[in-house]
Chains A and B, each alone.
Chain A
Amino acid sequence: MNLKDVLRKGDPAADDPGLSPEEIQAMRRTVLAAVPESRRRAWLIPVATAAVLILAAILGLSLWRQPAQPTRLASEERAVAPSPAQRGRVGEGSSSPTPKRPLPFPPPRQGAGEGATSHPDREEKVVRVHPRPRPAPVPKPEPVEQARTETPQQQIQFSTPGGTRVIWVLDRTAE
């Protein structure tokens, strides 16, 4: 008896009837049920990747825009702050006052509007002045009455923090 005959005689699958129809159907169901699952997974990967990318983009955009806001606010503040030129105009106004000039110490907002419209190039100077502490209260001139502008003499009064009162009497006719 040669090797081939021995192997055929002892073939483990020689008399085996194979799988029963029930076994085959059960196996078929199990195998085919695994297909949609794998397809769903295949779809999940690109969807999840896209979601992560979109989230990262949104996060990046929000982080990028956040620092821009303070700078814009700072520029707004700069525009609001009174410029030294405006402050200097006090002295100017005091040395050679003209009756129809604006008040030497206008409220900050009033000055801002003026500075922003008439001297937009002076903003650079303002940047240097802004972080300084507020100067000591400068003696505010008492409001000049409108009626006085009609008269040839004009009076400007200052009161220093020490209590000294300065009164300038400007004669219009002396010009």
Chain B
Amino acid sequence: MNIPVTTNAILDSAKDETPAERLAKLFDTHQRRLFQLALRLSSDREEARDLVQEAFLRAARQPRAVPGGEPAGEAWLVRTLVNLCRDRYRRLAVRSRARQELTREERQGRHPEETHVARATVQAALERLSPRRRAVVVLHELEERPVREVARLLGVTEVTVRWHLLAARRELAKTLLAEGGLS
């Protein structure tokens, strides 16, 4: 884990910055990583872009809510993004189910390529997880972040992260075995 040695220097410089400058720096540093996370959480490019923009807009509307410093700012953005995913997940539950049906159709005949099948299977399995659990799996399994960092980013304890990981693995294994993605 990369802990910045010059944390105090970052905090000191953050005091002199205007909210716009601070937000611009946050955006330039984290937009790409956040977009990838949003894409893994939502499985839809347009939706992922909207989620990232909304997360940064929230930071712009309430600049004081974003804690100073690099890691704390990133954690705030990740939490906001996961919460936005959760809100959207609740609202679009019906649409999500319809999309799952569509992916199943795609897997059965339209796109027979192995990669596409694997992606659709994983997407379908991930979409069955709750947003927080999905975020834990994505951050730990796909982004390869250690449990401690996942806990810091999501603002939960390490025990909670481990519990979510265990439950998510069980759910994913069950789904992927049923779909034929896991042998």
Chain A residues close to B by CB (< 8 Å): 1, 3-4, 6-14, 16, 18-19, 23-24, 27-28, 30-32, 34-36, 38-39
Contact = CB atoms under 8 A, between A and B. Distances in A.
Contacts, number: 100
A48 B62 CA distance: 20
A12 B39 contact: yes
A10 B169 CA distance: 15
Contact of A12 (B23, B56, B61, B119): B119
Interface of B: 19-20, 23-24, 27-28, 31-32, 35-36, 39-40, 43, 45, 49, 52-53, 56-57, 59-63, 115, 118-123, 126, 137, 141-142, 169, 172-173, 176, 181-183
A12 B43 contact: yes
Contacts of A16: 36, 39, 45
Contacts of A39: 19
The interface residues of chain A, by DSSP majority, are classed as: helix
A39 B63 CA distance: 9
A36 B183 CA distance: 55
Contact of A27 (B43, B52, B121, B183): B52
B182 A3 contact: yes
